[in-house]
Amino acid sequence: MNKKYINYLVLLFCMCSAISSADTTTAVAISGQIIDVPKAPQILAGIHYKKLSKKICSNQNIKQFVSRSTGQVQVAMFFSYGCSVCRHLNKPFDEWASKQNKNAISISKLPVSFNRGWDMLAKAFFTVQDLRKSALLDEIIFSGIHDKAMPLWAENKLEDLFFENGIDRALFKSTFNSFNVNTQVKLVNDLSLAFELSSIPNIVIVGPYNAYITNLAMTQDPRLLFMVINHLVTKELKSPN
């Protein structure tokens, strides 16, 4: 493989890895030729994210949410097993979360209950969490709904699925209908109303100075979405400006 071809592959990799921006480029020299390669775009308030109003942040449910992790920046993904976009964002979000400093950032996934079916799926999520089976069951539930058209908003179908994956039926029922699971579902539902969410997935970042919301509709690209999250987390860890 000659040097010219290797240089071409390096350039191609750089261009494919970069997030394109039509008017933000930088010049690099490859084999003596000056070629424009896209730079990471400027992250703009009002376009890539929105700062939440003081009215929203003063809501009692949000204050309670913030108080549980004093001194940390909170990053929460509002989602549902019933949302196909959430399914595709779930693994990248988990991978991003695994690389963060847990002493500085509190990260959570919060299932919304926009309808009765999603209320059942929210209960399924907290059942999975309480049983510590997220690594096993998250993708199985997503796949069951979106790949196999399984009606997993029905409790008996969820029970069958959990049983098929090694969870005792009695344990599933007692956990699924527990006070703890029902309380968490209600708390997240109240929180989604407090943040005035009408769609998912949405990422909320709450720091000591400000709170923000971002999503794929704003960034148009998953890679840029995580750049925005990192930007806002860093902003809140550094200063109130």
Q: Which pLDDT value is given to residue 23?
A: 38
- For 179-190, the pLDDT digits (tens) are 999 999 999 999
Give the model's pLDDT for residue 4: 41
The pLDDT, as a whole number, for residue 5 is 35
What local confidence, expressed as pLDDT, does residue 7 receive?
A: 41
The per-residue pLDDT for 8 is 35
State both tokens at 49. Answer: 């994210």
Tell the residue number behind the tokens 């896209």, with chain if given.
38
- How far apart (Å, rounded) are the C-alpha atoms in residues 81 and 59? 27
User: In this structure, what token pair is assigned to residue 144?
Assistant: 């069951």
Assess contact for 214 and 49: CB atoms under 8 A.
yes
What pLDDT does residue 71 have?
81
Predicted confidence at residue 67, as pLDDT, reads 84
CB 50, CB 214: distance < 8 Å: yes
Which H or E element spans position 102?
A: none
Specify the pLDDT at position 70: 76
Give CA separation, 150 vs 28, 143, 144, 162, 241, in Å.
Answer: 51, 9, 5, 13, 48
Q: Please report the pLDDT score of residue 39 as a whole number.
A: 57
Strand ranges (DSSP E) for the chain?
Answer: 25-30, 33-38, 50-51, 73-79, 105-111, 202-206, 211-214
Predicted local confidence at residue 68, as pLDDT: 79
Residue 126 in tokens: 């907290």
Domains for the chain: give ranges and CATH numbers.
3-38 (no CATH), 50-238 (3.40.30.10)
Residue-wise pLDDT for 25-83, tens only, equals 334 343 444 444 445 679 999 999 999 999 999 999 999 888 877 789 999 999 999 99
Contact (CB, 8 A) for 79 and 109: yes
Are 78 and 110 in contact by the 8 Å Cβ rule? The answer is yes
Q: Are 211 and 57 in contact (CB under 8 A)?
A: yes
Low-confidence ranges of the chain (pLDDT < 50): 1-38
- Are the C-beta atoms of 209 and 237 separated by less than 8 Å? no
